[in-house]
């Protein structure tokens, strides 16, 4: 299966279905882990290679999301407050809030707190 089909079928479609059923935490987990997997498509190493999560997450954020996401991931900030917090504790860090509004913005930032608009993420 081509990587683009895998991404559409097993990451994006699954996350959309979860959001339709208001399973927001599960959808963010799939997308966050999916970012790391997508970053793995850019390197030459097997997907199961050890110690690649931070590198792959960073590559995916820069190449696939760019803009404000890449800016916020300077010094691996999004990796720490999003990916690590979710994978290791199934909750967001203190600096990250979920936002289920219909806002047109992808990310909002105020008082050092990032508000992630789930519909767009």
Q: What pLDDT sits at residue 93?
A: 74
Q: What pLDDT sits at residue 53?
A: 95
Euclidean distance between CA atoms 53 and 59, whole angstroms: 10
Per-residue pLDDT tens digits for 11-57:
999 999 999 999 988 999 999 999 999 999 888 899 889 999 999 99
pTM given for the model? 0.86
């Amino acid at each position: 299966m081509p990587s683009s089909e895998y991404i559409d079928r097993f990451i994006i479609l699954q996350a959309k279905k979860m959001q339709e059923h208001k399973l927001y935490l599960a959808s963010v987990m799939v997308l966050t882990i999916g970012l790391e997997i997508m970053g793995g498509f850019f390197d030459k190493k097997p997907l199961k290679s050890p110690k690649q999560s931070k590198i792959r997450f960073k590559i995916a954020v820069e190449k696939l999301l760019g803009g404000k996401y890449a800016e916020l991931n300077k010094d691996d900030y999004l990796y720490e407050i999003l990916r690590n917090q979710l994978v290791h504790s199934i909750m967001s860090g203190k600096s990250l809030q979920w936002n289920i509004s219909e806002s047109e913005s992808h990310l909002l930032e105020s008082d050092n707190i990032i508000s992630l608009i789930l519909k767009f993420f």
